[in-house]
Structure 1
Amino acid sequence: MEYAILGKTGFRVSKIGLGGAPLGGDFGETTDETVTHVIDSALDFGINFIDTAPLYGRGESERRIGKALKGKRGAVILASKAIMRGDPYSYENTIKSVEESLRRLQTDYIDLIQLHELEQTTYEQAVNETLPAFRKLKEQGKVRAIGVNAGDIELLMPFLREDLVDTIQTYAKYTLVDYTAKDELFPLAKAKNIGVIHGSPLAMGILADRPAPFLRNNKVMLEEAERRMAQLDFLRKSEPNGLVEPALRFSLTCPDIAITLVGTTSVQSLDLNTGYCDGRGLSDEEMKKVIGLFPGQRLF
């Protein structure tokens, strides 16, 4: 297992982290027992970072994680988010959301609290209400660090420029088919010592040959994804889903990414993915070829 320092938080984190959406049942039914088994196995594999949110399973992910971590809370850096989609990002709602997360997680502190889905609010509300609520909770010892989350890189940039947070989280923006985060986001985060968390290194399942269901109606994007994947055949392994390993190694060895999140309810899958977190990435020749294929070209 490889470890990194998560920016200015100073947290020593495993470079592969466990994503909480599948643990809430968002990608198929699961059970408390399965989630406990997955989390126990993650700890055994050396994973010490778990990321969740109230949105995942409408609270079920947090509840199951809290149950699984009973007696083991100190073994992990625990991250969650606020608030639930559909609720206003007001100061009061933010405080309420975090207090409810603390109860579900059965803990008196969250290591990293993140504003979830910047797309659902405005910059003004985030800066004037949500972040002040986070800072108040930090003063009270209920959270230790503050971050923001968005799929749209441009929404994250002002928070970096103004040094408003400790971490940022985005997804599918440093993959074999779309690595646009490296152009501006990563250099600025590095300059500000703001930790980077990256989700969906398989580009919403595209690189696992299983695009997420919500992508199925986007035929133009899927056709472009197929075109790009055809140009990556030189990386494809012989086994099924042959781009999974190179895709994970691509993200896991990026020096600008502290944590790459993987979400699963399968211990076998988690074991396999964790095995790629050994410091071995693509060869210099492969990296040069990949980076030359789609420079500055967003997929999502």
Structure 2
Amino acid sequence: MEYTTFGRTGLRVSKLGLGGAPLAGVFGPADEREVEKMIHEAIDGGINFIDTAPRYNRGESERRIGQALRDGKRNGVVLASKAVGPDESFGYADTIRSVEQSLERLQTDWIDLLQIHDAEQAPYETLVNETLPALEKLRDDGKIRYIGVSTRILPLLMRFVRLNRFDSIQFYARYMLIDHTAKDELLPLTAENGIGVVNGSVLGLGLLADTPAPFLRSDIVTEAAQRIEQLRFLRTKEPHGLVEPAMRFSLSQPAIHVTLTGAATCEVLRTNMAYCDGRGLAPDELSRVYALFQGKSLFPAE
């Protein structure tokens, strides 16, 4: 397992992190006993960053993680969650209540990183004047340690970075083989400002695993298929042959501190952990990927 320093927080984190959505069955059935076993195996294998949210099956992900981190395992984990929960506003009171409920489900007195979830869903003014002050109050009270923000909208993330009140950002499907637009402006900006970076959905919501999520628009799936065809030179012989290069593409990017793995079984977890060995794409392969899709966003910009 490889480790790095999470921006200016000073936290030492594994470059591979465990994503919480699959643990709650968000993308398909996930046996609770298998999930607990997998969390323990992840920790034993060196993963120390776990990311979850109350919106993942209405708190079930947090509950399962809290159960798995009993008996002293919590202390060895950098635990990240988000606000707000389902059916809650981004207002001050709802944000406080959301985090308090997360603490209960996670069975912990503190959360290391608390992120605003899908920031594009609320007006910027609400986030700055209500959500963020609530998180700052929780930080002052010792209930959270650091504050982050997540969204797939790159210009919005850049706006938050420049605000200089966040310790980290999280995006998804913006630094992957078929859409790496985060590298053009966002990643240089986060590096300059010492911001921790979490990358989610490096498989493009299933596109690079040949299993696109059913909710994806048909035009996006069609465009992705055309781009994937151009990546035949990267395919391995294994089923879903772009998974390994996709994982290595993100894990070897120095400006990305944590790449999340969306595993719901121990078998998938072990496979993904094997890619966190310091080996990325060959230089000529990386240059070719960058040249193919330079500045070409796959998903809508807003």
Q: Distance in 2 between matches of 1:124 and 1:163?
A: 16
Q: Which aligned pairs between 1:100-179 and structure 2 lie closer than 5 A?
A: 100-179=101-180
- 1:90 maps to 91
Counterparts of 1:129-278 in structure 2, within 5 Å, are 129-215=130-216, 218-278=217-277
Question: Structure 2: how far apart are the matches of 1:272 and 1:194?
Answer: 29
Tell me how far 1:86 sits from its aligned partner: 3.4
Large movers: runs of 4+ above 3 Å: none
Give 3-state SS (helix, strand or coil) of 2:114's partner: strand
SS at match of 1:292: helix
**Alignment partners' CA distance in 1, 2:166 and 2:75:** 24
SS at match of 1:18: strand
Q: Matches of 2:198 and 2:205 in 1, distance apart? A: 16
Letter in 1 for 2:291: G
CA–CA distance in 2 between the matches of 1:202 and 1:32?
24
Q: Write the letter of the residue equivalent to 1:188.
A: L
Q: 2:58–2:86: 8 Å Cα contact kept in structure 1?
A: no
Q: Distance in 1 between matches of 2:145 and 2:96?
A: 15
Separation in 1, partners of 2:154, 2:185: 9
Deviation at 1:85, TM superposition (A): 3.7
**CA apart distance, 1:87:** 1.7
1:36-75 superposed matches below 5 A: 36-71=36-71, 72-75=73-76
- Which secondary structure does the structure 1 equivalent of 2:156 belong to? helix
Instruction: Give 1:30 deviation, angstroms.
Output: 2.3
Q: Is the 8 A contact 2:8 2:194 kept in 1?
A: yes
**Secondary structure of the residue that 1:56 maps to in structure 2?**
coil
1:86 and 1:64 mapped to 2: Cα distance? 21
Q: What's the CA shift for 1:60?
A: 0.5
Q: Post-superposition shift, 1:219?
A: 1.6
Identity of aligned pairs, percent?
A: 56
CA distance in 1, matches of 2:152, 2:85: 16
Query: When the two structures are aligned, how many residues end up with a matched partner?
Result: 298
Residue in 2 that maps onto 1:279: 278
| Aligned 8 A contact 1:26 1:57 in 2 | yes
Question: Corresponding residue for 1:79?
Answer: 80
Tell me the equivalent position of 2:25.
Answer: 25
Q: Provide Cα deviations, 1:256-288, integer angstroms capped at 9, x if missing partner.
A: 000000111110110010000000001111111
Q: Contact 1:48–1:75 at 8 Å: present in 2 too?
A: yes
8 Å CA contact 1:23, 1:61 repeated in 2? yes
Q: For residue 127 of structure 1, give the secondary structure of its aligned residue in structure 2.
A: helix
Q: 1:20, 1:53 within 8 Å by CA — same for their partners in 2?
A: yes
The 3-state SS of whatever aligns with 1:214 is: coil
Q: Give the distance between the partners of 1:219 and 1:269, measured in 2 at CA.
A: 27
* Structure 2 counterpart of 1:10, one-letter code: G
Q: State the Cα deviation string for residues 123-155 of structure 1 (Å, max 9, x = none).
A: 111111111111111111100000000011122
Q: Deviation digits for residues 148-203 of structure 1, max 9, x if unmatched?
A: 00011122111111212000000010100000000111010011000100000111
- Between the aligned partners of 2:198 and 2:21, the Cα distance in structure 1 is 15
CA distance in 1, matches of 2:143, 2:245: 39
Give CA deviations for 1:30-65 in whole Å, capped at 9, x if unaligned. 233122101001011110000000000101000010
Alignment of 1:282-297 (within 5 A): 282-297=281-296
TM-score computed with the length of structure 1 as normaliser: 0.98
CA offsets, 1:224-245, max 9 Å, x none?
1011011100000112100000
Tell me how large the CA RMSD over aligned residues is: 0.8
Long gaps (5+) in structure 2: none
| Amino acid in the other structure paired with 1:277 | C
Query: How far off its partner does 1:29 sit?
Result: 2.4
Alignment deviations for residues 210-229 of structure 1 (CA, whole Å, 9 cap, x no partner) = 001111xx221111101101
How much has 1:18 moved relative to structure 2?
0.2
Structure-2 separation of matches of 1:267 and 1:35: 8
Query: Is the 2:50–2:78 Cα contact (8 Å) retained in structure 1?
Result: yes
Distance (Å, rounded) in 2 between the aligned partners of 1:78 and 1:61: 13
Structure 1: 5+ residue stretches without partners: none
CA contact (8 A) 1:85 1:120 kept: no
